[in-house]
Amino acid sequence: MKRLMCAAAGLAILAASPAAASTCIRQNDIWNWSSPNDRTLILEDYRHHKWLAKMIGTCSDLVYHQKLLIKAREGLGLSCVQMGDIVITRNNGLNGRCAITSVVPYVAPVKGDKDDTSSPHSGY
């Protein structure tokens, strides 16, 4: 009976792994990031899936060469980036801290759409 339960649990984990990988971006799977403004991060994983993270707090002047630390509530690299995680920046000796308020899959805006506020060039 124990073998059957372990086998079933193992199959459930294997079956859930591809789906789990596509439903969130894990802490240790961030390959790239960009920031169209001080309240938005676009995170990219190693498979080039992008996620839009909205933030509140004192992160300002986010620039690409800057290092970011995303501190998970669970503290594990396998954890998904999620609401409540903290983004820590350092710019010219000043530290910024932002809380993530939402993380959703990123859909690139259609060119010429003037109503899209998530565009990397909005506000310029």
Q: Which residues pair with 44 in a beta bridge?
A: 32, 50
Q: Which residue has the higher pLDDT, 18 or 43?
A: 43
Q: Rounded to 5 degrees, what angle do the CA atoms 40, 50, 22 make? A: 130
Q: Taking the complete model, does pTM exceed 0.95, yes or no?
A: no
**pLDDT by residue (tens digit) across 59-95?**
877 876 678 888 887 766 788 999 999 998 877 777 7
Domain ranges of the chain: 25-105
Query: CA-CA distance, 88 to 86, in Å (whole number)?
Result: 6
Average pLDDT over residues 46-71: 86
CB 42 within 8 A of CB 35: yes
Residue among 41, 71, 73 at smallest CA distance from 59? 41
